[in-house]
Structure 1
């Protein structure tokens, strides 16, 4: 029975919205901890547990969706939000680390399940549209949430906890009222439909996306610092960069997805990777606001082109079940967030600008790998179905 699960029940966008507001709030988690009296060195030791939790949550959420009702899995992954605000507000560092771990686990776990639901629609165009809407919601609400949180922290740390309580409860409530008709989920065993695929192609697809995600992870970690410290832009402009990027995504993500929907999925991913890496690389050569706007626009275009088909691209070559594959995809974000600062920190000792050379090299390498995959398999975008 053809049909779109999301079009029949758009309430799935509510938990996406509230989770994005939480993500926006947690973008300033380090500032909250610092204002709570924790020194920067200690904070740097605490925050990696966010990625560790994300790695575990992404795997658990996706794999569990293969074997259980996604609604139940989503509810379980959202339960920590009922306790996180209380834990993060404690003065005991061990308790706070546990809260940070749960934040990462719940965010990644919920995302994996939501991606599972979205990609379980039968119609490819519905999947593309839903993924585009998801990207818009995330970027818009993260930008708004981080702005609200910046204002809140300038007033009192107590309001930070109140913010978490509100959106944590809203997230849990929105999931509780969401209903899934299991008969509408298209969850046929991908392994059976991909017998011609090899494990090596699946591995190559994972490597290519990981390399592109490392490029993307360079942006929040180093981009704003670079333009302020190396290009002498004023500090306040840094905050507007992601707002500008978010506005572009809100205005053009759906239109871009519609325009590119019939293009071979390999070329869509490649174009996204190249725009992303070239956009970050170009920051080495900017000298004015026009150049900065063009650089941000380029990597934002890459982000829009890449993230809608990326999960579909990996699903095309997987040799595992859908939920397990999505959990792997979600975990790649945690892996790239872990690798990017380590790799960047290693090259900064020589020259800050080398980071953008590496970004370009990673983008080109990722694109070459995708071309190799396409040549070996010869998959056509028109035949792409789950």
Structure 2
């Protein structure tokens, strides 16, 4: 095999596809990127058997062939090389990487042992990127990163009279509804994988995102502008989020997001002990933030707020400050609507006026 291509194109492709590789591959060959050269097509493929990505790069193919190349050293090497043409030549089990002024040799694995990219088949669903991307971003951050509970690493896509997208880690939940009517069904898509697909589609400035659902293969496929992405649907029982979400809230407030975020940062300084707990106290004037540390002391601040319901006395609720901070940094509201019922019942945040989105946080029990 012998190919030549531009360093910037090669580096981008490797950077993207290596995100599919597990930090602890099940097999040594799964720690590799598969290079396939045929006719005038150069492809780079990586997978962890659940999430796969293939990038097609323009270049010159002098000799066809395949090579499974250790991903980290290959990506790190290409990142250090200057812009310009890179020549890749496979001699038996050694890949030579050559530029005008430098060369390196990498040992490869048997390419025949590398899994094949699954054949795409199924039903196509299409969404405008400027609708789907914000919806995925606003829900995926609430998904779990804990692989020991794989069902919580999924985004739940529930189709019906509208499309509901839900992410949860068991302590908080983000849900958004999109105007999309379809036959009722539920898909559980890996949150990390779909976020990567949306990230690349955004960089490529794709107008519409088409994804292909194969319930027969238990796969979802994304294809756009030189990229093919596959992800295995998760199977299992997603938490019954409809039962978690309160139908109404006895206490409802609206307040400025910038002021709240600034005072939350202050409160978080004194909430670093333990679970990072802050207390929110609904007062007649607005929302007070309290936090304390056995080491550093305590603080209290007030965010002026407008009551949307009748004020019937102070109410207190306690949260992990990180869950609130992540909502603010991802969703970026201007005005925040806040709703709660009782100190140990789920509370909600959303951008004021954005009824299609709700962020639910489970409170903590605190003493004193």
User: TM > 0.5 between the two?
Assistant: no
Q: Could you say which TM-score interval applies, normalised by the shorter chain?
A: under 0.3
Q: Whose RCO is larger (CA < 8 A, sep 6+)? A: 1
**Greater share of residues in strand:** 2
Normalised by the length of structure 2, the TM-score is 0.23
Normalised by the length of structure 1, the TM-score is 0.22
**Greater share of residues in helix:** 1
Larger Rg: 2
